[in-house]
Chains A and B, each alone.
Chain A
Amino acid sequence: MNTEDDNRIPQIAQHQESPRQPEDVPYSDQESQASTKDKESTSDELNQAAHKLEEIKRSMFERRVKKFDRVLQSKVVDLDQLRSLAWSGVPPHQAGYRCKTWKLLLDYLPNDQEILAETLSRKREEYTDMVEHYFGGISYDNQQDLFKKREMSPYEVKSIKQIRIDVYRTQPEVKLFSTQPIQIMMIRILFTWTMRHPASGYVQGINDLAAPLILVYLTEFLQNVNQDNIYEIAEKDIEEIIPDQLVKIEADVFWCLSKLIDDVQDNYTDMQPGVHKIINKMKKLIEQADPEVLKYLDSLDINFMDFAYRWVSCYLTREFDIYQIVRLWDTYLSEEDGFSQFHCYVVSALFLQFSKNLKEMSFQDALLYLQNLPTQSWQDDDLNILMAKSFEMKELYHNNNRLYQ
């Protein structure tokens, strides 16, 4: 972390302590206070401080876990409370927390436990009926036979071709996405979604949105897998999940993906007006925050569409590693209009975080830099800071009508 970031933390912490997140003082605040004190300390005191910090972190974590427990297990889940808790990240170690949180925040699960089971089984049945119609049944073992059971229109053939090509190269760093059952699952989800959304049809990048949902919903059933090591989930782990459970995961992912895209449908319709709108607003935000860099990019003739397009339309799934994507989406789902509005503040804050490096770059270097941001190695703390900065921007600019014109 550089000094400039250190200086900003207390400011950010103020925002995090605002009524919206009353219980979530970020760890980094504790760290920065500790680190200023440590500068004059001996190494013994340093060790003690580190130890103490660990303890604080652990106890804060335990407290958060307890709160999640309480909220998620109450008869009627308080969604506001859940949002304010999940905003700074759902604890990853308790399998099922994130899964349930996402489903609740996407309004797929009802918050009333009494009608939950019934709603869920109805939705899952509805999905299997659709799959029966398009595929003549569900199985997870033969990819080639997937579409053999009926005649298809040219539009369907074209869609399938495109979906297949993209499914095979979704999240290529994460092994589980190259296993047969998951690829079959993904092809079916995307195709069914495509057939039900003729206004947009399948658009490259929608596969990237399905991946985090699949991962999160799958890990609920992978109790034996170390959640710190999801990169290593392999075919044999997936095989342990019985087909009945896979069908449930598949149905849940389908409905949640549909819910998620419903809010941002115009990112994927003809000419993609949604993406253009976000990028235009992003430019206006940057103009307020750092007009110099905007002028500089203009002078280089660099167009925002050439680098921000992917950030916006793939919801940063290409910029971050899968852990950070999932963490980022905790916040998106906790915000009221996370994917349609807050995302704009996040991509703007992300740009501003790196913009100081751009000011002396050539056209070529600047564009290459922006198309390959050094964000793949980010840790939780980096992302927490970005979230705080985005929140800060939202507070500053959200009611500024000029930005919406």
Chain B
Amino acid sequence: MVDNSSSNYQHLFKIVLVGDAGVGKTHLLHRYVKGKLPTNKPSTIGVEFATKNVELRNNQGVVKAQIWDTAGQERYKAITSAHYRRAVGALVVYDVTKEDTFRNAQRWMEEMRASAEPECVICLVGNQVDRVEINPVLRQVEYETAKRFADANNMKFEETSALTNKAVTDVFDNLLHYIYEVKLAQEGANGIDQLEAESKKYKKLTEFTSPDEERKKSGCC
């Protein structure tokens, strides 16, 4: 179990959630960060922010995921797109029961690619799959179609349900691992060092450590 409030982490990854209004971005985020669905959640206006500390596989350290949830309506693009910068990962979310939200996923992806970090890892997410499990007639986007689209555009792909918690943790956790791997492969050991240095710099900038904590740290390890 990783302590979420702790400032004890080795990597800091900025991730954004994009996609049409009503596809379930906020629900996915809540499910992942808080382990439950939000009760009574109105639409997201502008951006909302959450973080989670996650332990990487094979003792690669702890990553703090800084996740930005965004408003889905086009009109908000000017504010939300400011957050694409410096993002190293993104979930492009659509609703498997609404074909138009899948068609728009292409636009969301292109916008991410245009403004995010060049090595940004994007995962296409078909949400609300619980609804088609109950009633297959509701499905408007086939798994294979979405998978092909994702493969052709160098995206990961997963179908999820924030409601039943299907694959939600996997989607986020895998994204964090992919980001780590990409950094590792692209930049080699030096790159990761550099990344860590940057993380530390950023951490120093963003975290307040009380003298007490500082003492604790040097005392125990």
Residues in chain A within 8 A of chain B (CB atoms): 161-162, 165-166, 169-173, 201, 203-205, 207-208, 268, 270-272, 299-301, 303, 305-306, 309-310, 313-314, 318, 360-364, 367-368, 371
Contact = CB atoms under 8 A, between A and B. Distances in A.
A204 B76 contact: yes
Interface string B69-100: 00111011011001000000000000000001
Contact of A360 (B50, B75, B208): B208
A306 B46 CA distance: 7
Contacts of B8: none
Contact of A166 (B43, B79, B100, B206): B43
Given A162-B73, A204-B76, A313 B45 contact: yes
A253 to B, nearest CB: 19
Contacts of B43: 165-166, 169, 204-205, 207
B41 interface: yes
B21 A162 contact: yes
Nearest to A360: B208
15 contacts: A161-B100, A169-B41, A172-B40, A204-B71, A207-B43, A272-B79, A305-B46, A305-B82, A306-B47, A313-B45, A314-B45, A318-B42, A362-B206, A367-B49, A371-B49
A205 B41 CA distance: 13
Interface string B187-221: 00000000000000000011110000000000000
Given A272-B78, A360-B208, A362-B206, A170 B7 contact: no
B128 to A, nearest CB: 13
Contacts of B66: 364
Contact of A362 (B22, B45, B49, B208): B208
B206 A171 contact: no
Given A165-B43, A301-B205, A318-B42, A204 B21 contact: yes
B51 interface: yes
Contacts of B72: 204
A371 B206 contact: no
A313 B73 CA distance: 14
A318 B45 contact: yes
Given A306-B49, A364-B66, 17 more contacts: A165-B22, A165-B43, A166-B42, A171-B42, A204-B21, A204-B45, A204-B76, A272-B78, A300-B206, A301-B205, A305-B46, A310-B46, A362-B208, A364-B49, A368-B49, A368-B51, A371-B49
A305 B79 contact: yes
Nearest to A310: B45
Nearest to A165: B22
Contact of A203 (B47, B73, B79, B82): B73
Contact of A165 (B21, B51, B82): B21
A93 B169 CA distance: 49
Interface string B30-60: 0000000000111101111111000000000
Q: Which 5 A-B pairs have the closest CB atoms?
A: A363-B206, A172-B40, A309-B46, A165-B22, A310-B45
Contact of B206 (A173, A305, A364): A364
Contacts of B45: 204-205, 309-310, 313-314, 318
Contacts of A172: 40-42
Contact of B208 (A207, A301, A361): A361
Contacts of A310: 45-46
A165 B79 CA distance: 21
Nearest to A299: B205
Contacts of A314: 45
A271 B41 CA distance: 25
Contact of A364 (B48, B51, B71, B75): B51
A268 B78 CA distance: 12
Contacts of A268: 75
A205 B44 CA distance: 9
Residue with the greatest number of chain B CB neighbours at <10 A, chosen from A165, A201, A301, A364? A364
Nearest to B39: A172
A208 B71 CA distance: 15
Contacts of B50: 368
